[in-house]
Structure 1
Amino acid sequence: MKPFSLEVFKNLDLEDIFERIVVHTPYGESEKKAMLPFGPEETTALIAELDNVERITALIRDNRYAFVDMRGTFSRIKDLRGTFLRLKAGEVLAVTELFEIKMLSLAMKKLSETAATLKAGFSGAAFATPSSELHKGLPADAAVHALPEVDQLLDPARTGTPTFYIYDDYAPELKAVRDRLRALEDQIQLERKRIRGALEARLGVKIRPSGELAVGKDDRALIERLNNEPDLVYSAETYVNITYRLRGNEAIDHMCSLVEDLRSEEESAEFEVRKILSQTLRALLPFLEENIRAIGRLDLLTAKGYFAIGFDCVRPDIIPPKTGAADGLATGVLEITEGRHLKVEQQVKKAGDGARYTAVGLSLTPGVTCITGANMGGKTVTLKMVGMLTAVAQYGLFVPAKAMRLTPRAFIYTSIGDLQDVDQGLSTFGAEILKVSEAVKLSSSPGLILIDELARGTNPKEGFAISMAIVNHLKRAAAMTLITTHFDGLADAREVRHLQVQGLSFVDFKSVLLEMENDPEKGIELLKRSMDYRLKEIHSPEEVPKDAIHIAALMGLDDGILKEARRILVTPRG
């Protein structure tokens, strides 16, 4: 299935969802960025992915400390794909690159060992499944394997330490060069030590092991002697001291020249070793690449599992399309029980004003469902929540709800917020109709269309007529359409389901208004505390409560204006 548009991503706050899926490796980040929603034709693959998330979630619950250890290992893994490209191109790797591959190999070994310790237990009725085989270890495509060939290649002494060096063991020629180097350097040190000792005895001073001697500028006699000393040379000075250092003699200069030649030989020998190591690693590259794919997959699956646990999510029940009509599911299902819009829920929790988030449930079928209710009743949040949970489920994630049943949608289309397009010279109404026209074209496919306040950008009379015509078209379409509206009568059309925000229907307004007399500024707090955002199905126009005037009262609107509004509301128009 194609990715959802950027507009859908924004309107449904999917960026917030993806920010909560926390990966720890560059390979996991790539897997996350490559996530695509599963479409109706990929239902089997979607169910398999949810099986994997269920498995990893159960393993996290039963092996908390193992996964803490695993994520610690993830955080130390670097992106070596550039190094692998150099290997493929036949280049010789640098020492730092060989070191990083050794670190990757050690991480792979650690992950493999951690995976072997995972208990195959299964906890929590929320994740019940008929197949006990589902929970035995990690999914195959997330299994990271140790590569002893790489370990042995880059750690010939098998120390297991997180360091790397072109060891003497790699080549006899290299060892011979280094032995000669060490011998020469020892001779140079001995000669310098001899000179230093002779100077100390002759001058009665102490010279540093580094061969430096610092003298105060006020000791003029010693400075004069040092200036005439053939084995010392001026090095540097400050406003307090003058520093001298040992001068090399012919023997030292000759040995230093030999050292430079040996350094060049050592560098050539090391290059040959790095060349052989690179060639050997090139042959092992398919196994390394397979492992980094598994690391990315494991990282993402683990992130999905932590998301499910951290936000109290459940596995959506995926209903394949074209199910037998005898099951009553041939046209598709979208049912949500106590669904939560995560971003809004977190904002309510952070507000700390005593307000509680209200989970909302509803079910949709192909055709049109309308949600009505006064402003501040949560209609738009519910609309977004339906789209968010549908998208989240189709990304192979558990959903923030008590339960969800879903036949995957072929597309999700949104018309939410201020659609005015200044660049194209479109008003809010013009931009909205442009959007809705696109949705109408798509409606013959089993998708999900979400429209907030249809035709709100034009005059009420024409807006209602256009809205009713659109509803009449969409109610016969294969797509599921959910519309929020203020138009009286739109939700009461034949074959249109009408859901009403319960709102303030159970509030004792006398008590609430009495409470406001002592604190007139308390209206918003009382409204939040009193508003019931849950939905109920309406079967006749008489059942619909009128909450707008009640909300205006809570917001402190003048009593005289409120009385006039009530009079106008019950007065027949003539």
Structure 2
Amino acid sequence: MLSITGNCATALPGLCRGFRSLMFGWEVLTQMGKATGKMLVNTRTRNETGFEKIMSDIETCTAYGGQRKKQLKPFLPGQEQALNREYDHTDALCKAVGKHPEGVAEMIACLWHIKEIGLTLSRSLSQTLSVVELFDIKNFLLRTAELRALLHKLTDKVPETYQLMDTEKLLDRLDPSGERIDTFYIYDAFNPVLADLRKEKRQLELDMRKIQKQVRSELEDRHGFRMTPKCELLVPKADKALSELASGLSELRRIDEDYMTVMYSITPNAQMDEITRRREDLEAKIEAEEEIVCRDLTAEVARWEKDLRFNCGIIGNLDFGLGKARYAVMRHCVRPEICEAHVLMIEEGRHLLVEEILSGQKKTYCPVDVELTTGVTAITGANMGGKTISLKMMGQVALLAQYGLYVPCSKALVGLSNYVHILVGDGQNVQRGLSSFGSEMEELREILDNALDRSLILIDEIASGTNPTEGLALTKSFINYFAGKPYITILTTHFDHATVGEHIVNLQVRGLSGADFDRLYRELAHANRRERIEIIAKYTDYRLMRVDRMDQVPREALNIAKMLGVYPEIIDGAKKYLV
């Protein structure tokens, strides 16, 4: 037998469809917004910022949740209210995850037991469902009822996007006895004719057993052997006398044997044959009545098909929503403030993937603050200064916010962008295969072709793949070009003098400017090559500070080179060339 647990209110399918249409329309408006000719972000940028990895780490339990995650759309400028509604929904689940972890665990366990029923629902419109398929529908209804009860227990007001339709009436049809257990059977309660036929069949079986027992008793009394409760006689082949007796009795027939034993059963007499014939007739009638029940139940499922599909969508929302909430709570992410102005302000921002790696090494991530508005912001500093990680963090926060996810920082103010692109060279990601100046220029051309008003452009080490003279010239030209566009542009560069200008904000990695050099050199004195790099990293302050004059920019590269063992005469010689 199969059954389900339910906690649904009663509602007619027809009364729900107007509400369902409104909900579907709201969902489409929330996710799609105004159509644009270009996409917000390409696959490379999703990968470089770590956004794609974060999405893969958000766990879902059901096929519906996985599909909802796969279909996730970004919110675009003009959809700030819709995005804030989405955050309101996630807020409710985040509170539940924090305050009621046991209830959330129950909900997740319930979600894991939900099967995909889309094909079954489609079949219900044109074919009769099998008992197994009806069981799947019943199981879905039970889990839906369980989820509704758990949601109301976890939160005072269930957001619309997580409100499941009441399907209790359909559950009552599939579970007429009201047992609500995870089994399914064509119960007698489905059809009174079926109940009478089964009752008659059970009586015939009792009559058959009575006759068989009578024959067994007579044989045992007459011949002195003992038969099994199933009216079978097991004869050892070594017992020649019993073998000869059994084979000669017309009341017994040989039905099976192995290398040691021969099995006999009672030979049906005329009375038994009549009962067998009647039972076979009844079984055919029972099968026909069961088919009628399956057909009627299938028709009922078909009447609820749209409402069940609606609940499939809601379960997808809930499953993915719980995945987002659990991820946000476990990684200490926060809801960003969404504004209409095109800005990106981050307090104590963290790159989640780098933080995870450092945590595995028992190291602490150094959070970074940044305030970005329309115009060009340049980040300078030596290698090992964390410029690229900070650049990726900015892109990660912006994209997470734009897709309605919580962000890894203590506070964030985000204005939505129409286009986001990060360009990171080969030195930072070998897997991309962008190892030449030509590839870098091709991707810059892609940015120029696709950038729109309110674009967020992040470029790492622009023109680093060519000679310094031309690289400096190109960098200055790109900076001047982007300074005149309505974009937020952030770039990292070694060309300090390329970033001079009225409309350019210069940020510098603090680096070793506040380090205790006496202590640092003492630790370096007895360290090997790998340890020296880790020691320098430990003393490096990766936070960004604003610098208004180029003479404020510290010369970290020479300090790091000296610490890593480059000869003093080379360091002194290099200082002579600094201007």
TM superposition score normalised by structure 1: 0.88
Give the percent of matched residue pairs that are identical in Structure 1 and Structure 2: 33
> Which digits, 9 at most, give the CA deviation of each residue in 1:254-283, with x for residues without a partner?
433332332222111111111111112222
1:42 counterpart letter in structure 2: Q
3-state SS of the aligned residue for 1:101? Answer: helix
Q: CA deviation at 1:244?
A: 3.9
Structure 1 residue aligned with 2:497: 489
Does residue 529 (structure 1) correspond to residue 565 (structure 2)? The answer is no
Q: Which residue of 1 aligns with 2:462?
A: 454
What is the match of residue 385 of structure 2? Answer: 377
Where 2:171 maps in the other structure, the secondary structure is helix
For residues 236-266 of structure 1, give each alpha carbon's deviation from its aligned partner in whole angstroms, at most 9, with x where no partner exists. Answer: 4444444444443443344333323322221
Selected match of 2:573 from 539, 564, 568? 568
User: In 2 relative to 1, CA 97–10 (structure 1 residues): closer, same or farther, beyond 3 Å?
Assistant: same
Q: Which residue of 2 aligns with 1:126?
A: none
Cα contact 2:434–2:440 (8 A) shared by 1: no
Q: Which residue of 2 aligns with 1:546?
A: 555
Instruction: Provide the C-alpha distance between the structure 2 equivalents of 1:474 and 1:395, rounded to a whole number of angstroms.
Output: 26
Q: Which amino acid aligns with 1:142?
A: Y
The answer for unaligned runs of 5 or more in structure 1 is 121-136, 322-331
**Corresponding position of 2:210:** 190
The residue identity in structure 1 corresponding to 2:298 is S
Q: Is the 8 A contact 1:420 1:431 kept in 2?
A: no
Greater shift in the superposed pair: 290-299 or 388-397: 290-299
Distance verdict in 2 for CA 1:475–1:201, change over 3 Å: farther
What is the CA–CA distance in structure 1 between the aligned matches of 2:249 and 2:569, rounded to whole Å? 111
Helix, strand or coil: the match of 1:430? helix
Distance across 1 between alignment mates of 2:347 and 2:483? 24
1:334 to 312, 330, 344: 344
SS at match of 2:84: helix
Superposition pairs for residues 46-195 of structure 1, below 5 Å? 46-87=83-124, 89-120=125-156, 137-195=157-215
1:339-418 → structure 2 map (5 Å cutoff): 339-352=349-362, 355-418=363-426
Instruction: Write the deviation string for residues 136-187 of structure 1: whole angstroms up to 9, x where unpaired.
Output: x111121123322112211112222222211112222212221222122222
CA contact (8 A) 1:341 1:385 kept: yes
Q: Contact (CA 8 Å) 2:89, 2:161: kept in 1 or not?
A: no
Q: Find 1:480's aligned residue among 485, 488, 496.
A: 488
Q: TM-score, normalised by structure 2?
A: 0.87
- How many residue pairs end up in the alignment? 540
CA distance in 1 between counterparts of 2:75 and 2:251 reads 81
1:259 pairs with 2:279: yes
Query: 2 CA distance for matches of 1:7 and 1:96?
Result: 45
Per-residue CA deviations over 1:402-421 (Å, capped at 9, x if unaligned) read 10001101111121242999
Change in CA separation of 1:334 and 1:256 when aligned onto 2, cut-off 3 Å = same
In structure 2, the CA distance between the partners of 1:228 and 1:437, relative to structure 1 (3 Å rule), is same
1:452–1:485 contact (8 Å) kept in structure 2:
yes
1:3–1:223 Cα change, 3 Å: farther
Name stretches of at least 5 consecutive residues in structure 2 with no aligned partner: 1-31, 33-38
Note if contact 1:26-1:79 (Cα within 8 Å) is conserved in structure 2: yes
Does 1:26 pair with 2:63? yes
For residue 444 of structure 1, report the CA deviation from its aligned partner: 4.4
Runs of 4+ in structure 1 deviating by more than 6 angstroms, as ranges, are 419-422
Secondary structure of 2:78's partner? helix
Paired position in structure 2 for 1:8 = 45
* More moved, 311-320 vs 71-80: 71-80
Once the two structures are superposed, the pairs formed by residues 459-470 of structure 1 within 5 Å of their partners are 459-470=467-478
1:290 to 300, 303, 310: 310
Contact 2:419 2:452 in 1 (8 A): no
Alpha-carbon separation, structure 2, partners of 1:80 and 1:503: 57
- Work out which of the residue numbers 410, 434, 454 in structure 1 matches 2:442: 434
Q: Deviations over 1:42-94 (max 9, x none)?
A: 2221111112222332243333333222222222211111111112x332111
The 1:192–1:562 alpha-carbon spacing in structure 2 relative to 1, beyond 3 Å, is farther
